[in-house]
Chains A and B, each alone.
Chain A
Amino acid sequence: MSDDVHEPLWEVFIRSRRGLSHNHVGSLHAPDAQMALRNARDVFTRRMEGISIWVVPSAAITATSPEERDPFFEPAADKAYRHPTFYDIPKEVRQL
Chain B
Amino acid sequence: MTAVAADPAAVYALRYADDCLVLSHRLAQWSSRAPALEEDVALTNIALDLLGQARALYARSAELDGTGRSEDDYAFLRDERDFVNCLLVEQENGDFAVTIIRQLLYSTFQLEAWRALSESTDAHIAAIAAKAVKEVTYHLDHATQWTLRLGDGTAESHARTQAALDQLWPYAAELFESDAVTRDLVTRGVAPDPERLRTAWDASIDQVLSAAKLERPSTSWAPSGGRRGLHTECFGYMLAEMQHLHRAHPGAQW
Q: Which A residues form the contact surface with B (CB < 8 A)?
A: 1-2, 7, 28-32, 34-35, 38-39, 42-43, 46
Quick one: given A38-B141, A42-B45, are A29 and B38 in contact (CB under 8 Å)? yes
Nearest 7 interchain pairs by C-beta: A39-B38, A42-B42, A1-B35, A2-B36, A42-B41, A42-B45, A43-B41
Residue pair A38, B145 in contact (C-beta under 8 Å): yes
Could you tell me the distance between the alpha carbons of A32 and B36 in the complex, rounded to whole angstroms? 14
Q: Which B residues form the contact surface with A (CB < 8 A)?
A: 35-39, 41-42, 45, 141-142, 145, 149
List 10 additional contacts besides A31-B149, A39-B38; criterion CB under 8 Å: A2-B35, A7-B36, A28-B38, A29-B36, A30-B38, A34-B145, A38-B141, A39-B41, A42-B45, A43-B38
Contacts between the two chains (Cβ within 8 Å), count: 35
Contacts of A28 in B (CB 8 A): 37-38
Could you tell me the distance between the alpha carbons of A42 and B39 in the complex, rounded to whole angstroms? 9
Could you tell me the distance between the alpha carbons of A26 and B142 in the complex, rounded to whole angstroms? 21
Residue pair A46, B36 in contact (C-beta under 8 Å): no
Quick one: given A31-B149, A43-B41, A46-B45, are A38 and B142 in contact (CB under 8 Å)? yes
Could you tell me the distance between the alpha carbons of A38 and B39 in the complex, rounded to whole angstroms? 10
Residue pair B145, A39 in contact (C-beta under 8 Å): no
What are 26 contact pairs spanning A and B, CB under 8 A?
A: A1-B35, A2-B35, A2-B37, A2-B38, A7-B36, A28-B37, A28-B38, A29-B36, A29-B37, A30-B38, A31-B149, A34-B145, A35-B145, A35-B149, A38-B42, A38-B141, A38-B145, A39-B42, A42-B41, A42-B42, A42-B45, A43-B37, A43-B38, A43-B41, A46-B41, A46-B45
Contacts of B41 in A (CB 8 A): 39, 42-43, 46
Could you tell me the distance between the alpha carbons of A43 and B145 in the complex, rounded to whole angstroms? 17
Residue of B nearest to A31 (CB): B149
Residue of A nearest to B43 (CB): A42
- State how many angstroms separate the Cβ of A17 from the closest Cβ of chain B: 20
Could you tell me the distance between the alpha carbons of A39 and B37 in the complex, rounded to whole angstroms? 10
Could you tell me the distance between the alpha carbons of A1 and B39 in the complex, rounded to whole angstroms? 11
